[in-house]
């Protein structure tokens, strides 16, 4: 059967009669919507977090023993929960905690804080609240009379103290970076890159190559993008002074817990050098 061409009335060609069946006009077909990635279901997210936590705990237990695994994995959760609470309070949430195998954890933000001071509070909330994870180990040591439990408190304190180092992408850089940027934006950039050099040397000297990669990536971002923080309202003079004071207080608290737990547990704190310890 030959196909009958469809022409408009008034033009050359046959026209439809009163009893003829008119063919419907062709309508443009809307393009199919692009496929989008479906978000993970709660069950899938729980399974991934569980697997990530077990991998992290197993990796720590392999290198440092089961007590270190319990202390550090628990410390990571408490540390990140501190970030999460302040992220939600600052209007940058809702936040979620994600465990990163072989590295640690992260509390996500859905939007940028509207001021640098809120960013400072978010950064310091993790180490400050994270210290509370040391309390159970102090309690166990007091109850049992065995100071070996305080090694767990040492791991918790050291975890939060290291996070306060002003090297990107650690919490210390996010807390102290706005202080430097208040003086001059390029000062933050230069300081983060310069601090990364001894941090890299320390990590490589201890054989912590994964940590070295993280520090190197943070330094690259700081050098290439001019900083690691998104633009927000800069610190006011009062906020600038408060940020320095809070940063110093949290460092002092973490250092006090770490040193006290190390002394009570009989842990010798070695001074790292490029080739090892001395």
Q: What is the DSSP string of the chain?
A: -PPPPP--TTSSS----TTS-PPPPP-PPPPPPPP-PPPPPHHHHHHHHHHHHHHHHHHHHHHH-HHHHHHHHHHHHHHHHHHHHHHHHTT-----EEEETTTEEEE--SS--SBHHHHHHHHHHHHHHHGGGGHHHHHHHHHH--GGGHHHHHHHHHHHHHHTSSSTTSHHHHHHHHHHHHH-HHHHHHHHHHHHHHHHHHHHHTT-HHHHHHHHHHHHHHHHHS-SS---BPPPHHHHHHHHHHHHHHHHHHHHHHHHHHHHHT---PPEETTEE-
CA–chain centroid gap for 199, Å, is 19
Strand partners, 104: 100
Per-residue pLDDT, averaged over 165-192, amounts to 84
Mean pLDDT for 13-37 is 46
pLDDT band, very low/low/confident/very high, at 58 (cuts 50, 70, 90): confident
Across residues 261-267, what is the average pLDDT?
91
Q: How confident is the model at residue 40 (pLDDT cuts 50, 70, 90)?
A: low
| Cβ partners under 8 Å of residue 177, min gap 6 | 166, 168, 188, 192, 227, 228, 229
Is residue 141 over pLDDT 90?
Answer: yes
Q: Is the confidence at residue 145, as pLDDT, over 60?
A: yes
Contacts of 113 (CB under 8 A, 6+ apart): 90, 91, 92, 119, 122, 232
Name the average pLDDT for the chain.
Answer: 78
| pLDDT tens profile 78-90 | 999 999 999 999 9
Q: Is pLDDT of 262 > 70? A: yes
Domain locations in the chain as residue ranges: 43-277
What percent of the chain has a predicted confidence (pLDDT) above 90? 42
**How far, in Å, CA of 83 to CA of 87, rounded?**
6
Rounded-to-integer distance, Cα 86 and Cα 145, Å: 36
What's the confidence (pLDDT) of residue 155? 94
Assess whether pLDDT exceeds 90 at residue 21.
no
Mean pLDDT of the 114-122 span: 94
pTM: 0.74
pLDDT confidence of 129, banded at 50, 70, 90?
very high
**What is the band of 41 on the pLDDT scale with cuts at 50, 70, 90?**
low
pLDDT greater than 90 at residue 164: yes
Average pLDDT over every residue of 116-128:
96
């Amino acid at each position: 059967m030959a196909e009958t061409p469809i022409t408009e009335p008034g033009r050359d060609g046959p026209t439809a009669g009163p009893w003829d069946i008119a063919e419907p006009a062709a309508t443009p077909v809307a393009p199919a919507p692009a496929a989008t990635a479906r978000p993970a279901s709660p069950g899938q997210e729980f399974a991934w977090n569980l697997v990530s936590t077990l991998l992290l705990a197993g990796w720590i237990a392999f290198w440092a023993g089961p007590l270190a695994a319990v202390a550090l994995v628990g410390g990571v959760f408490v540390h990140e929960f501190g970030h999460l609470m302040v992220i939600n309070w600052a209007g940058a949430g809702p936040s979620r905690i994600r465990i990163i195998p072989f590295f640690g954890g992260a509390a996500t933000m859905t939007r940028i804080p509207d001021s640098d001071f809120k960013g400072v509070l978010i950064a310091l909330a993790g180490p400050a609240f994270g210290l509370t994870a040391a309390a159970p180990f102090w309690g166990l040591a007091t109850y049992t009379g065995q100071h070996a439990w305080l090694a767990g408190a040492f791991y918790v304190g050291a975890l939060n103290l290291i996070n306060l180092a002003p090297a990107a992408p650690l919490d210390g850089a996010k807390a102290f970076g706005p202080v430097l940027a208040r003086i001059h934006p390029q000062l933050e950039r230069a300081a983060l890159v310069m601090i990364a050099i001894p941090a890299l040397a320390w990590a490589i000297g201890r054989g912590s190559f994964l940590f070295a990669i993280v520090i190197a990536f943070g330094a690259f971002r700081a050098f290439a993008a001019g900083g690691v923080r998104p633009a927000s309202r800069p610190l006011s003079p009062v906020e600038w002074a408060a940020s320095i004071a809070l940063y110093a207080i949290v460092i002092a608290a973490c250092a006090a817990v770490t040193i006290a737990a190390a002394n009570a547990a009989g842990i010798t704190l070695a001074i790292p050098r490029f080739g090892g310890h001395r």
